[in-house]
């Protein structure tokens, strides 16, 4: 028997209802913040992710579904959403139009890593990207949007925040950090030793306990910010405090992608085991320019849908729709015509087989509909239908045309 590939998962009822509820809730709230839906391809040039996510990242180095297509092009399935949206932004010359552009998206991403709870090889993200607004108030507004989404879904969280600096303060800090890392290099894991030369700030985020022990006295970027970065970060923290958001300063939060500058944040929850990220993002003011576009400030985030599915509190399920069935087979054509009319405004199920009243009612109840309509011998003679409200238990007989 052919089965789904390892790390790929089917989404079936009733889990699909939770999945759709997350997407619809997040989309509705993003729309309230002025974001518009966009769709980008699942397949992109590999170079897009190497240049944006970074050659030194685990995603590019170890996890991409990369191959040469029949035309000889080096392509891969998208491992994250931001790079494709930025490519779209540049390709359609939105960077040259100026102004502010805000987009949201959702869909599958692909990373070849070891499947585990909340982490699949094909997984789904919801994300937002804001272009053209440099103010730190936009960073805060993005965080507030995520707050609204998680509040609506009934998910508890804590927010970790950090500043990753800018081209003015990063070079001096990098020198100090690299000097410290060379002093402890022999005790670091292989990945950290490689990152010293390629992207040393990523060493701070290493999950190996022995590495973290050696990094206790490492210089932190938060102590080396320029005046502009320090001012923005202080403003962000002040806004979080004034709105009562549960936050924590995390000087080792660097995110897993190379394109972040200034604000970086994660929403974490301990309800799925060890404290785990359920959403994250930050500012990437140089990425549009780096990919060939006009310099454009940008900030965004993504949340993992599978990561939060078991945390979501579903609203009480209400009965909805209509079940139609026959005890007189000759009535079926008229019932199909009725179903077509009713489907213009509501959900309708039709059972084609002749069944007893008890069997019809049982089937209707199992489907969770509000009304069950049955045509028996007596009803068919009078061109009527017997209807029961499965919530109030009220019963009545009405004409087929009057239903």
Asked whether the predicted pLDDT for residue 12 surpasses 80, the reply is yes
Nearest alpha carbon to residue 126 among 298, 279, 311: 279
Distance CA(204)–CA(162), nearest Å, equals 12
CATH superfamily of 322-399: Anticodon-binding domain (3.40.50.800)
Nearest alpha carbon to residue 255 among 291, 194, 189, 204: 204
Measured torsion, CA atoms of residues 45, 48, 51, 54, in degrees rounded to the nearest 10: -90
Asked whether the predicted pLDDT for residue 23 surpasses 90, the reply is yes
| The residue count for the chain | 403
Nearest alpha carbon to residue 139 among 253, 244, 284: 284
> Where are the chain's structural domains?
15-169+225-311, 322-399
Distance CA(299)–CA(102), nearest Å, equals 10
Give the model confidence (pLDDT) of 143-157 as tens digits: 999 999 999 999 999
- The predicted pLDDT at position 222 comes to 79
Q: What is the mean pLDDT of residues 355-368?
A: 96
Give the model confidence (pLDDT) of 72-128 as tens digits: 999 999 999 999 999 999 999 999 998 999 999 999 999 988 777 667 899 999 999
Instruction: Give residues with Cβ within 8 angstroms of 292, minimum separation 6.
Output: 90
- DSSP for 320-382, please give it: -SEEEEESSGGGHHHHHHHHHHHTTTS-EEEEEEE--HHHHHHHHHHHT-SEEEEE-HHHHHT
Give the model confidence (pLDDT) of 232-255 as tens digits: 999 999 999 999 999 999 988 887
Give the DSSP H/E element, type plus range, for residue 175.
helix 170-183
- State the average pLDDT for the chain: 91
| 132 phi-psi bin (left φ>0, alpha ψ -120 to 50, beta other) | left
- Please state which of the four CATH numbers 3.40.50.300, 3.40.50.620, 3.30.930.10, 2.160.10.10 is assigned to the domain occupying 15-169+225-311: 3.30.930.10
- The predicted pLDDT at position 340 comes to 96
Lowest mean pLDDT among 1-10, 154-163, 203-212: 203-212
Give the model confidence (pLDDT) of 262-313 as tens digits: 999 999 998 876 558 899 999 999 999 999 999 999 999 999 999 999 899 8
Asked whether the predicted pLDDT for residue 165 surpasses 70, the reply is yes
Distance CA(398)–CA(390), nearest Å, equals 16
- The predicted pLDDT at position 208 comes to 84
Nearest alpha carbon to residue 305 among 14, 26, 4: 26
- The predicted pLDDT at position 118 comes to 64
Helix, strand, coil distribution of the chain in percent, nearest 5: 40, 25, 35
Asked whether the predicted pLDDT for residue 378 surpasses 60, the reply is yes
Distance CA(372)–CA(392), nearest Å, equals 12
Measured torsion, CA atoms of residues 29, 52, 121, 28, in degrees rounded to the nearest 10: 10
Distance CA(297)–CA(93), nearest Å, equals 15
Dihedrals phi, psi of 204, to nearest 5 degrees: -60, -25
Q: What is the mean pLDDT of residues 161-177?
A: 87
Which residue would you say has higher pLDDT here, 21 or 270?
Answer: 21
Structure tokens at 255: 């995110």
- The predicted pLDDT at position 145 comes to 98
């Amino acid at each position: 028997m052919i089965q789904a590939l390892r790390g790929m998962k089917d989404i079936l009822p009733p889990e699909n209802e939770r999945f759709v509820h997350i997407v619809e809730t997040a989309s509705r709230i993003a729309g309230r913040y002025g974001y518009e839906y966009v769709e980008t391809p699942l397949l992109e040039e590999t170079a897009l992710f190497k240049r944006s996510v970074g050659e030194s990242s685990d995603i590019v180095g170890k996890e991409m579904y990369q191959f040469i297509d029949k035309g000889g092009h080096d392509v891969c399935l998208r491992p994250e959403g931001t790079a494709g949206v930025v490519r779209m932004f540049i390709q359609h010359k939105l960077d040259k139009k100026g102004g502010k552009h805000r987009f949201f998206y959702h869909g599958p991403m692909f990373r070849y890593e070891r499947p585990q709870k909340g982490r699949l090889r094909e997984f789904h993200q919801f994300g937002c990207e804001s272009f053209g607004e440099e103010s730190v108030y936009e960073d805060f507004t993005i965080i507030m949007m995520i707050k609204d989404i998680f509040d609506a879904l009934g998910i508890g969280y804590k927010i970790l925040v950090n500043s990753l600096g800018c081209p003015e303060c990063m070079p001096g800090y990098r020198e100090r950090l690299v000097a410290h890392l060379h002093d402890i290099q022999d005790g670091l894991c292989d990945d950290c030793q490689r990152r010293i030369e390629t992207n040393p700030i990523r060493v701070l985020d290493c999950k190996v306990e022995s590495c973290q022990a050696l990094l206790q006295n490492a210089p932190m970027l938060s102590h080396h910010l320029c005046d502009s970065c320090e001012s923005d970060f202080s403003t962000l923290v002040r806004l979080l405090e004034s709105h009562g958001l549960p936050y924590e300063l995390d000087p080792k939060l660097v995110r897993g992608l190379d394109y972040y500058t200034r604000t970086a944040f994660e929403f974490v929850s301990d309800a799925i085991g060890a404290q785990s990220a359920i959403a994250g993002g930050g500012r990437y003011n140089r990425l549009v320019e780096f990919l060939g576009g006009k310099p454009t400030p940008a900030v965004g985030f993504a949340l993992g849908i599978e990561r939060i599915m078991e945390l979501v509190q579903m609203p009480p399920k209400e009965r909805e729709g209509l079940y139609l069935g026959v005890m007189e087979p000759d009535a079926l054509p008229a019932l199909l015509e009725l179903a077509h009319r009713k489907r213009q405004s509501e959900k309708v199920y039709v059972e084609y087989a002749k069944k007893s009243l008890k069997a019809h009612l049982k089937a209707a109840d199992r489907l969770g509909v509000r009304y069950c309509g049955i045509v028996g011998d007596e009803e068919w003679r009078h061109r009527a239908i017997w209807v029961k409200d499965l919530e109030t238990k009220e019963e009545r007989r009405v004409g087929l045309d009057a239903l």
